[in-house]
Amino acid sequence: MSTPPRDADAALFGNSFAIEEVPTREFPENGMTAVDAMRLVGEDLALEGDPARNLATFVTTWMEPEAQRVIAENLHRNFIDHAEYPRTAEIEQRCIRMLADLFHAPGETTGARTQGSSEAIMLGALSLKWKWRKRREAAGGSTSSPNLVFGGDVHVVWEKFCRYFDVEPRIVPLKKGKYTIGPEDVAPHVDEDTIGVAAVLGTTFTGHKDDIVGLNDLLLRIKAERGLDVPLHVDAASGGFVWPFLYPDSAWDFRLEQVRSINVSGHKFGLVYPGIGWLIFRERSDLAPDLVFTENYLGKTDATFTLNFSTGSAMVLAQYYNFVRYGRAGYTYIMRNMQLNARLLAEKLRAMGRFELIGAGDEQLPLVAFRLTDKEVYDEFDIAWQLSAERGWMVPAYTLPPDAQSVTIMRALVKQTMSREHVDTLARDIEEACATLAKKGGAHETERRQVVTGSGH
């Protein structure tokens, strides 16, 4: 039996944890060298999937080396300390003003950076609730039963908001063949207790948008006929950095009168690593003033509008880097490249003769949503498993929300790092996965139990 390596050998040759259990439950008594700690973490992560082949996540997985340098050099800077880091605070305001311009705000406005769209949605919806309460009090009405109207195509954070902040969710169900919502779906749910209507620009399920123009027109009619001023919030987590560049003439933003607030994720198609999100108001008055705190912190007075407090400055600075690096021309170029490759993948899938494309001719995020046209010995979940096990692709398969839960689809997100060669390879791998599954009669039950389901985030 060989003897264990001496501590001196481990110190000389490294990798002291190679034959030991790594810390997983108990706080370690002793540490290890910096190199060993780095290797331990790196070797653990080597067991994960390759982000470049993760076609489920909307989150940015690549940035330029210069952007990474900006991030690395500012990880130590606490964003919330505006008095100590005033230039960082100014850069945040620059980003807010630029986004307000991108979204056609009619004049001076305000907003906030957030950890992502989830925090931005929470803050935006809180402002809807506070503003509604003021309106109801002014009208002498009750404020005990607020409700919020949105479709089944929203991110789960909307339901979280309703549960956390005691608001009735009025969820418009989807149905087979209709995976977004419009005015005819929303109209029956709006009343004097509605704090707002939420619409999605680029759903996580199929990449399409709700009928935001139709919803705006509905709310204008309700205001004229019933005297109810119900605001519209656009959840543009994914689409806010896509539609301005791919569909610049498509009205969904502050060009529509009832759109009072918009959230967008910088760490999605804003091309920044997580986590960074933005909340932009149409006008300063759309932010409920009671939600802004003026505080004395470390001897300095500052105003804050956040759910989080301390957080890094790096991603705010990285967002500004992207804005000045790419501009409208650069973002348009990148988004069009993604769109071209998404359309190419769609054509390749259509040519296989076994897939139906979901809304391929409509305004859509750069992705391909598809499903099997005929019943096979395998299903979409089996294809997702085979692609992952055989080729390392992470292409999600999932059922749609009620009342379209009988529909199973797959979705391949085409991002900045997905080249034409990757598209060709993925298409071949999908075809080969189907051929393999046909021969073996579908995935084995043990394989199916390991499939991760969900539309990704």
First and final C-alpha spacing in the chain: 51
- Cα gap 236→291, rounded to integer Å: 22
Nearest to 98 by CA among 114, 87, 88, 109: 109
pLDDT tens column, 410-420: 999 999 999 99
Query: What's residue 185's pLDDT?
Result: 97
Q: Which residues pair with 194 in a beta bridge?
A: 147
Nearest to 80 by CA among 116, 30, 114: 114
Cis peptide before 275 (omega within 30 of 0): yes
In one-letter notation, the amino acid at residue 179 is Y
The three-class DSSP label of residue 188 is helix
Q: Do 167 and 195 touch, CB atoms closer than 8 A? A: yes
DSSP 306: -
Structure tokens at 19: 């034959």
Nearest to 199 by CA among 228, 230, 166: 230
Nearest to 113 by CA among 318, 252, 296, 286: 318
In total, the chain counts a number of residues equal to: 457
Structure tokens at 28: 């370690």
Instruction: Give me the domains of the chain, ranges plus CATH numbers.
Output: 68-322 (3.40.640.10), 335-451 (3.90.1150.160)
Give the burial class of 353: count Cβ atoms within 10 A of its Cβ; 0-12 exposed, 13-18 middle, 19 or more buried: exposed
Helix H or strand E encompassing 424: helix 420-440
Q: Give every residue of the chain whose pLDDT is below 50, as ranges.
A: 457
Q: Strands of 142-239 (E only): list them.
A: 147-151, 168-172, 194-200, 232-235
Question: Which residues are CB-contacts of 19 (< 8 A; sequence separation ≥ 6)?
Answer: 4, 5
DSSP 252: -
pLDDT tens column, 330-362: 999 999 999 999 999 999 999 999 999 999 999
- Cα gap 260→110, rounded to integer Å: 11
Query: What's residue 298's pLDDT?
Result: 61
Query: What's residue 453's pLDDT?
Result: 66
Nearest to 149 by CA among 217, 237, 233: 233
- Cα gap 90→238, rounded to integer Å: 25
- Cα gap 394→422, rounded to integer Å: 13
Q: What is the 3-state secondary structure (H, E, C) of 388-420?
A: HHHHCCECCEEECCCCCCCCEEEEEECCCCCCH
- Distance set, CA 350 to CA 185, 347, 368, 373, 423 (Å): 31, 5, 11, 10, 14
- Backbone dihedral angles phi then psi of residue 93, each to the nearest 5 degrees: -65, -35
